[in-house]
Amino acid sequence: MTASIITIGDEILVGQTVDTNSAFIARQLHAIGIKIREIISISDTEKHIKEAVDKAIQLDQFIFVTGGLGPTNDDITKKVLTNYFDDELVMYPEILSRIESFFAQFKKPFLEVNKLQALLPKNARIIENHEGTASGMWFKKNGVNVLSMPGVPYEMEGIMNQFIEIAQEEYGVGNFYHNTRLIAGIGESQLADILKDWENENRNKGITVSYLPSIGTLKLRLTGLLDQKDWIDSQLNILNELYPKFVVGSEFDTLETVIGEHLVMQNKTLGTVESCTGGALAKKIVALPGASAFFEGAIVTYSNKLKTKLVDVPAAIIAEFGAVSENVVRIMAENGKEKLDTDYTISISGVAGPSGGTVDKPVGMVWVAIACPDKTYTKCFNFGKNRARNIESTSIAALNFLRLILIGHYEDVTDTDRI
Amino acid sequence: MTASIITIGDEILVGQTVDTNSAFIARQLHAIGIKIREIISISDTEKHIKEAVDKAIQLDQFIFVTGGLGPTNDDITKKVLTNYFDDELVMYPEILSRIESFFAQFKKPFLEVNKLQALLPKNARIIENHEGTASGMWFKKNGVNVLSMPGVPYEMEGIMNQFIEIAQEEYGVGNFYHNTRLIAGIGESQLADILKDWENENRNKGITVSYLPSIGTLKLRLTGLLDQKDWIDSQLNILNELYPKFVVGSEFDTLETVIGEHLVMQNKTLGTVESCTGGALAKKIVALPGASAFFEGAIVTYSNKLKTKLVDVPAAIIAEFGAVSENVVRIMAENGKEKLDTDYTISISGVAGPSGGTVDKPVGMVWVAIACPDKTYTKCFNFGKNRARNIESTSIAALNFLRLILIGHYEDVTDTDRI
């Protein structure tokens, strides 16, 4: 049983939109054992849509189409698919009244063009969109299922979730198994080197070993058959035992969730004092629902003036050592801990770039300090030349620094591998 | 002249990675007039790679392949493409020494497996990777160009930028023209309604009108032939004149850049005091290189305790009106302005969700205040139920609120359209 995803819209082909929908759909299908054969992005012309559906319908049992269902004239997916499946558009009164009340709820004018969103194919199964006006349309033909959804991510997600529920009931789940470990503090090639024998042993058993790197962390995934579940789990547990400093958690963990669990368990609180990251670290922590159980807040001292005014870094210290220095981050963390009234406070000061670097303090150099209940740790990291990447790398490295302190491995803090 | 993008890797097909590379590549190509016919994501098996290249080579003049060039065993792209083009792998000594010095620079152990990255196809044009160890490989055959690049975004970007420079010199630019306006404060369907006649006039001239919505903003793009440039530009300038409150800027503007320009011009400074957004607004502003010209810093008072401790919101006021209230955000903004010593300060307090909502204050309700040199403005917004979306919507709405104040249209601040 395979599936394919067809995303429709020039905005993806000209690069104005990043296709995040496909990853969401793929994750949902993967979880119920439906394998994606291919993801394809095409322009919103009748010819391309027909060609893509024609091809997929030969190879897959499920085809997911996103985009082109908006109220404007450049949206043609509904018309093309309705024709393709020899269906006809009819008015669905219950959908119309739902759309009307949707507009009323948000006090928006209800326009003639919005009414057209209730014109839907007569023989398709309609999946309601609780977040917008374009309904999901589930066409079936010769055992192949084609689900057309709007391209707006949160609208698509709501429809996809309903589809998954129905599909699980009607089609059951798949027959393979995978499990994952989240890794931090070591790069892909170094990890592959220390795991060489372990990896070969798994490959010899027919297990797929995948390294999935992202900034500052990577995921190591084993995939096999359902009856290899125990083996796969035990192989990953071996890593937990051998390399606790590298293994952060499992598939759905992040550095934030793991740190949160540690702090909540110890009934401790956290805050940040940030310069070059401008609040990115605090934002990452607050993105976690329930962060209020351990996170108090942050002070973003982006200017030197505020480093002095808000966390009492003496101007003379900044003048002598520079804003990007061990002395300054140490004071930021320790005074920040008082001001924020927390048990742990992470402070950050660095040269995010693209300009502002010197020979001694190049772009990408970042000092991080962590004031703990009994001690303050400091560490200098060196990242690259890209501003956005430096901000993200710094946030991740600071979180992993804190994690290592919390699990008693602070001596193992290394520069985040960027190779 | 068309192009296609082939991304290789199971991580995309199982949804563990969002494909951001294709958008980058598409943008670069669009800018030099090369049209993308199709973007396709496939698994890293020899069969799928060959099939995809086979098809693209019939239809396109440029094929961009990303992924599968890492040092680990699951990376097979180099081998498959080298075979496909009847080439052979040879050691490139100058690449080897570059990789060695790369590892030395970051003080990483240089492993045997890393050496293999200098084994490259003899007849391909090698494009150096200044950010990593996997080189770009440019194969040519019968007038078709295939460029294989690593999947790590910043490595791919460096190689792609070099390709664009070479391609521009060797192939020149394309023959169509597009221009864009960034819009905020009005939804897609409402905008399409007020622009109905304008849109028809453009369509009748053969101009493509595209609406590209994202959270809180949308892009309106006109695309035509090169000789329609003056017409397209003048049509968009009409929008600037008629709807200054909706038109934020042009293609590469963001709310942050536009606000930054206004503030720098007026020699004014900005800060934020954030609760439910947890620093997301500050982070967005600091992401802008040169933000230090107008941005001082932020105070993230995530807990109520810190609202009192850091910006002097009386505990009695929080108890009486709640943390999510006009009274509280007003004090946060006005006191924050003093603490941060800024001319403008944006404060935010809301119910981000997923839990914590009440009948009076449902999830998605957010109060925003902006303390200006002479006055404080406040506004209540209502977003949806999704935490990440609420945080992003709030940041965008707050920025647009400030923009309208700065351009003298504060009376036009409306709830951000979510339809």
- Using a CB-CB distance cutoff of 8 angstroms, which residues of chain B are in contact with residue A192? 71-73, 113
Are B76 and B68 contacting, i.e. CB atoms less than 8 angstroms apart?
yes
pLDDT over 60 at A418, yes or no: no
- Return the C-alpha torsion angle A387, A389, A392, A397, nearest 10: -110
**In this complex, do A297 and B296 lie within 8 Å of one another by their Cβ atoms?**
no
0.90 surpassed by pTM: no
**In this complex, do B189 and A417 lie within 8 Å of one another by their Cβ atoms?**
no
Give the pair of three-digit tokens for residue B297.
């810093």
- Give yes or no for a cis peptide into A153 (omega within 30° of 0): no
Return the pLDDT at B112.
Answer: 82
Q: What are phi and psi of B138, to 5 degrees?
A: -110, 105
Mean pLDDT of each 10-residue bin along chain B, 419 residues long: 91 89 91 87 92 91 92 84 94 92 78 88 94 92 91 94 84 70 92 94 89 86 87 96 94 94 97 98 96 97 98 98 97 98 98 89 95 94 89 96 92 46
Q: What mean pLDDT, rounded, does chain A reach?
A: 91
Return the pLDDT at B5.
Answer: 97
pLDDT over 80 at A121, yes or no: yes
Return the pLDDT at A175.
Answer: 59
Confidence of residue A210 (pLDDT cuts 50, 70, 90): confident
Q: Which of A209-213, A298-302, B161-165 has the highest mean pLDDT?
A: A298-302
**In this complex, do A40 and B36 lie within 8 Å of one another by their Cβ atoms?**
no
A203 touches B at CB < 8 Å: yes
- In angstroms, rounded to a whole number, what is the distance separating the alpha carbons of residues B178 and B209? 10
A281 touches B at CB < 8 Å: yes
- In angstroms, rounded to a whole number, what is the distance separating the alpha carbons of residues B121 and A394? 36
Return the pLDDT at A258.
Answer: 97
Give contacts of A 312-331 with B, CB under 8 A: none
**In this complex, do A189 and B114 lie within 8 Å of one another by their Cβ atoms?**
yes
Return the pLDDT at B82.
Answer: 95
Q: What are phi and psi of A234, to 5 degrees?
A: -70, -35
Q: How many CB atoms lie within 10 A of CB A249?
A: 18
Give the pair of three-digit tokens for residue B296.
């001082």
- In angstroms, rounded to a whole number, what is the distance separating the alpha carbons of residues A27 and B11? 10
Average pLDDT of the residues in A70-75 = 77
Return the pLDDT at B419.
Answer: 27
Are A246 and A193 contacting, i.e. CB atoms less than 8 angstroms apart?
no
Cα torsion angle, B128, B130, B134, B138, sign: negative
- In angstroms, rounded to a whole number, what is the distance separating the alpha carbons of residues B326 and B318? 11
Are A345 and A336 contacting, i.e. CB atoms less than 8 angstroms apart?
yes
pLDDT over 80 at A169, yes or no: no
Over residues A354-380, the pLDDT tens digits come to: 888 898 999 999 999 999 999 999 999
ipTM of the complex: 0.72
Return the pLDDT at A8.
Answer: 94
Amino acid at B200: N
Return the pLDDT at B176.
Answer: 67
Name the closest residue on chain B to residue A307, using Cα atoms.
Answer: B297
Q: Poorest-confidence range of A262-266, A295-299, A316-320, B218-222? A: B218-222
C-alpha distance from A138 to closest chain B C-alpha (Å): 22
Return the pLDDT at B418.
Answer: 33
> Residue A126: which H helix or E strand, with range?
strand A125-127
Return the pLDDT at A132.
Answer: 86
* % of residues, chain A, pLDDT over 70: 96
**In this complex, do B187 and A108 lie within 8 Å of one another by their Cβ atoms?**
yes
Best residue in B64, B69, B74, B201 to probe A by mutation, most A CBs within 10 Å? B74
Q: What is the 3-state secondary structure (H, E, C) of chain B?
A: CEEEEEEECHHHHCCCCCECHHHHHHHHHHHCCCEEEEEEEECCCHHHHHHHHHHHHHHCCEEEEECCCCCCCCCCHHHHHHHHCCCCEEECHHHHHHHHHHHHHCCCCCCHHHHHHHEEECCCEEECCCCCCCCEEEEEECCEEEEEECCCHHHHHHHHHHHHHHHHHHHCCCCEEEEEEEEECCCHHHHHHHCHHHHHHHHHCCCEEEEEEECCEEEEEEEEEHHHHHHHHHHHHHHHHHCCCCEEEECCCCHHHHHHHHHHHHCCCEEEEECCCCCHHHHHHHCCCCHHHCEEEEEEECCHHHHHHHHCCCHHHHHHHCCCCHHHHHHHHHHHHHHHCCCEEEEEEECCCCCCCCCCCCCCEEEEEEECCCCEEEEEEECCCCHHHHHHHHHHHHHHHHHHHHCCCHHHCCCCCCC
Which residue in A15, A37, A208 is closest to B26 by CB distance?
Answer: A15
End-to-end C-alpha distance for chain B, whole angstroms: 38
A160 touches B at CB < 8 Å: no
Return the pLDDT at A262.
Answer: 97
Return the pLDDT at A416.
Answer: 42
Return the pLDDT at A413.
Answer: 56
Return the pLDDT at A101.
Answer: 85
Return the pLDDT at A212.
Answer: 78
